[in-house]
Amino acid sequence: MITINVRTSMALSEILGNWKFQVSLPQTSTFGDLLNQLTQTHGDELKPYLFETDGKTLASHIMFMVNGRNIRFLNKEKTVLQDNDEITILLPAGGG
């Protein structure tokens, strides 16, 4: 098993229970596996934040990062995770 450190925005912390937490995954797990585990655990409330309306495509307005690097410049959902990786999920900031 590997331990993944997840950080997210305060908006998602209400759904996820905290803005910073750890997830255990089997070795050779991918970023997509992490998202699947999170959506299985937190269900229909979380899914619309992470995916487009098709429920499969990553939401284009969300920044998903592995160790400070945007997964869109890595291997997207197929990015293989390593023990103690830092995952950041950022929603766009609102304001005026």
Average pLDDT taken over every residue of the chain: 92
Q: Is residue 82's pLDDT more than 90?
A: yes
SS3 of residue 68 by DSSP: coil
Please tell me the predicted confidence (pLDDT) of residue 95.
52
| Model confidence pLDDT, tens digit, residues 38-70 | 999 988 889 988 999 988 899 988 999 999 999
SS3 of residue 31 by DSSP: helix
Encoded tokens for 24: 């255990």
Please tell me the predicted confidence (pLDDT) of residue 18.
93
Please tell me the predicted confidence (pLDDT) of residue 11.
82
Q: Quick one: average pLDDT of 80-85?
A: 98
Instruction: Return d(Cα 43, Cα 60) in angstroms, integer.
Output: 20
Beta strands 20-25 and 69-70 are unpaired
Cα→Cα distances 74→30, 46, 68, 83, 88, Å: 12, 24, 11, 17, 14
Please tell me the predicted confidence (pLDDT) of residue 94.
60
Q: Which fold has domain 2-90?
A: Ubiquitin-like (UB roll) (3.10.20)
Please tell me the predicted confidence (pLDDT) of residue 10.
83
Instruction: Return d(Cα 33, Cα 25) in angstroms, integer.
Output: 8
